[in-house]
Structure 1
Amino acid sequence: MAVYRRVSEVLVRTGWLNVLRRSSSATRGLKVGESNPNITASLKITTKETLKDDSILPFSAFLTDNFGRRHNYLRISLTEKCNLRCQYCMPEEGVKLTPRGQLLSTTELLTLARLFVREGVDKIRLTGGEPLIRPDVVHIIAELKKLEGLKTVAVTTNAINLARLLPKLKEAGLDLINISLDSLVPAKFEFIVRRKGFHKVMEGIDKAIELGYNPVKINCVVMRGFNEDELLDFVALTENKPVEVRFIEYMPFDGNKWNFKKMVSYQEMLDGIRQRWPNMEKLEGAHMDTAKTFRIPNFKGQVGFITSMSDHFCGSCNRLRITADGNLKVCLFGNSEVSLRDIMRSGASDEELLHIIGAAVGRKKKQHAGMFSISQMKNRPMILIGG
């Protein structure tokens, strides 16, 4: 029971006990010095069970929520900074950046990664901000690849620096690349990102293909009145290039002035594309895939749709997020967070940290609140979440 006392002391000292109390029964009634089995009861485990090896427990109960969803995919934001200013990601007035001392250090980041991988995470995606502007990104990837059990290290990038850095990233072990690109028209590209650099993004795509990444995933946020007229041009990229173009429904976040009229639904996009390519066929995906994927016969690449708004995939969600300032977000659209940074810096042990992570994961909701409710919620701008 000593672990419960220590966990409660850490939660109170760092100020996170009330956060967990408000949104979960897992820590309700917990007081300093009091042993309370509700933390592990909410996770349907006991301390003895959590210490079993993987041959007995196929997946960590700490990373399994109350709906049985196993979270084996961790997204880590390396930085809040970015060399672009995308309208759907950052408010026009900019954002207040977290002081450097309050961001995760490289050592802290790798410590958390090691802990999550030990508990069953087998895929880590590095996001931002723009992850490739972090000076030690190559070192971080190389260190992540040393973690036993981690199968995939991926990065989501705007590709401004990709062509220059990719040889070193590949040597370090980078497995997958997602590139953000919302227009194939240079002038429209510059309008949406408020910067120049279209040719650098295209060079990055070509370099990734040249170095053997297949598929290279291209993320396109579709916005009515801006780029919905380019859907067919994006699909045409898949004819001769091994790319997967992923059309993303426009999502509401703080400062991006979202409204329903700007959102183009998956079904509307699909119907428009099928008018040009009626033989486009749906591919079977894995249970936890976020994209509905299609291929046009004889095309090298494929097309995907991320339907977070019109047809959510909450029931199979396997993702957790750590922000650049060290907060754990169990849902992209939720505003509940727990500071793993504060808890680590308080001197918590790995086991104590795991119990707090488990309580946070355990209180994850069955699904998000819906697009209209989300648009009214207070949340971070996308750039401060990490995608």
Structure 2
Amino acid sequence: MKGYSKSFLILLRATALKSDAKLPLIRPIFGNESRFYSDVATVANKADLTSAAVKSAAPLNDLLGRRHDYLRISLTERCNLRCQYCMPAEGVSLTPKPDLLTKEELYRLVNVFASLGVHKIRLTGGEPTLRSDLAEIIEQLCSVPGIRNVAMTTNGLVLTRRLPAYQRAGLSAINVSLDSLQPDKYERMARRPGLKKVLAGIDLALQLGYRPVKVNTVLMRGFNDDEICDFVEFTRDREVEVRFIEFMPFSGNRWDDSHMVPHEEALRAVRLAFPRLAPTLPRACDTAAVWQVEGHAGSVGFISSMTQPFCSSCNRLRLTADGNLKVCLFGAAEVSLRAALRAGASDAEVETLIRTALRNKKPQHAGMQNLARMENRPMILIGG
């Protein structure tokens, strides 16, 4: 679109200087682009949002000085499971394929993020292994200058067939979602069978040398809170890191704090059963507080997103399958980078969008009770 650069920057400057309040949907440049959400913060009157001003490779810092070097990318909204905390019982309306990022658009955006200091990528979904071209995507992303780590979060159902190809493509780390070690409970939560396949996939990942294999377990009272010690026992002979995650509110998952197991309660249960539990050294920007039972090959982590948020060290950005940038998992605000690309934005203008959105990242999320009342996507449409 000839002349896009000038009109884009005029609009961005004009809207950013209107007020300190959150801005409404921005649509004028993008025609009927109905999903172009913008939660752009106020930019100081002296700020020069010209192409020349964004050519530096300054880190992606927000106004609180948090450096963002980790990008989570949802590759698809589709999934072969229907986990209750992730997908509403009635399902979700999927984005039409023309409105999803193409591989070429994804590759271009990753190059932009990498030039701004992002060095870690995590591929999510939906379920990323449903992409038949996943190995190609992994290989392509690994080739981007500056990208040092390409990881994946998966439900693990097809790992025994496909993980070797992903490893050859360059996949460096893997997380497997697993909420029960009992077949009937697994099927009740996932609304599909498959526990044996997931366990076999975890064992294959260990055989292929992935260390540790992280196992994500969403704890829900009355469902799997009686399996906490079983999961700890799972770490005895396997070099896995079981990560107990507090149940989080998203649209359609019928969140209630009475169903949430606070991490301190889970930790007490583990300490009671395994007195030789000890904390490990903390890792920078890690979401989990990790502990290990003496003599166990693996470890256990506790992710307290609701009761003890770790927002002050957050280094994550999220790119949804339809190309929207989310600077906070729990924030409804989104900026459509896909719309910008298709309207002819230069890399410098995409950088301006990213930096301006990041200026409005809040010090922390709104708190679990407020989040339960706020508008947001279902987890499956965000990518976790």
Give the 3 Å change call, closer, same or farther, for CA 307–39 of structure 1 in structure 2.
farther
Q: Is residue 73 of structure 1 aligned with residue 89 of structure 2?
A: no
TM-score scaled to structure 2, two decimals?
Answer: 0.91
> 1:121-140 to 2 correspondence within 5 Å?
121-140=118-137
> 1:63-212 to 2 correspondence within 5 Å?
63-212=60-209
Q: Is residue 51 of structure 1 aligned with residue 74 of structure 2?
A: no
CA contact (8 A) 1:16 1:338 kept: no
Aligned partner of 1:25 in structure 2 is 42
Q: CA deviation at 1:187?
A: 0.5
Q: Pick from 300, 304, 311: which aligns with 1:303?
A: 300
Aligned partner of 1:235 in structure 2 is 232
Amino acid at match of 2:148: K
Q: CA deviation at 1:23?
A: 5.2
Q: CA deviation at 1:47?
A: 6.5
Aligned partner of 2:212 in structure 1 is 215
Amino acid at match of 2:138: I
Q: CA deviation at 1:269?
A: 0.3
Distance 2:283 2:34 in 1: 36
Amino acid at match of 1:51: K
Q: Identical aligned pairs, as a percentage? A: 50
Aligned partner of 1:326 in structure 2 is 323
CA contact (8 A) 2:235 2:242 kept: yes
Give the number of equivalent residue pairs.
365
Amino acid at match of 1:64: N
Aligned partner of 1:357 in structure 2 is 354
Q: Secondary structure in 1 aligned to 2:43? A: helix
- 1:154-176 per-residue CA deviation (whole Å, 9 max, x = no partner) reads 00000011110001000000000
> 1:283-294 to 2 correspondence within 5 Å?
283-294=280-291
Q: Is residue 345 of structure 1 aligned with residue 319 of structure 2?
A: no
Aligned partner of 1:380 in structure 2 is 377
- 1:104-124 per-residue CA deviation (whole Å, 9 max, x = no partner) reads 001111111111011100100
Q: CA deviation at 1:9?
A: 4.7
Q: Secondary structure in 1 aligned to 2:372? A: helix
- 1:297-323 per-residue CA deviation (whole Å, 9 max, x = no partner) reads 111111101110010000000000000
Q: Secondary structure in 2 aligned to 1:156? A: strand
Q: Pick from 251, 265, 274: which aligns with 1:268?
A: 265
Q: CA deviation at 1:286?
A: 2.1
CA contact (8 A) 2:54 2:351 kept: no
Q: What are structure 2's unaligned runs of at least 5 residues?
A: 13-25
Distance 2:36 2:129 in 1: 36
Amino acid at match of 2:55: L
Q: Secondary structure in 1 aligned to 2:236? A: helix
TM-score scaled to structure 1, two decimals?
Answer: 0.90
Q: Secondary structure in 1 aligned to 2:106? A: helix
Aligned partner of 2:242 in structure 1 is 245
Q: CA deviation at 1:39?
A: 6.4
Q: Secondary structure in 1 aligned to 2:78? A: coil
Distance 2:273 2:186 in 1: 24
Superposed CA RMSD = 2.0
Q: CA deviation at 1:49?
A: 6.4
- 1:77-117 per-residue CA deviation (whole Å, 9 max, x = no partner) reads 00000000000000000000000000000111111111101
Q: Is residue 13 of structure 1 aligned with residue 13 of structure 2?
A: no
- 1:51-86 per-residue CA deviation (whole Å, 9 max, x = no partner) reads 345xxxxx42xx211110110000000000000000
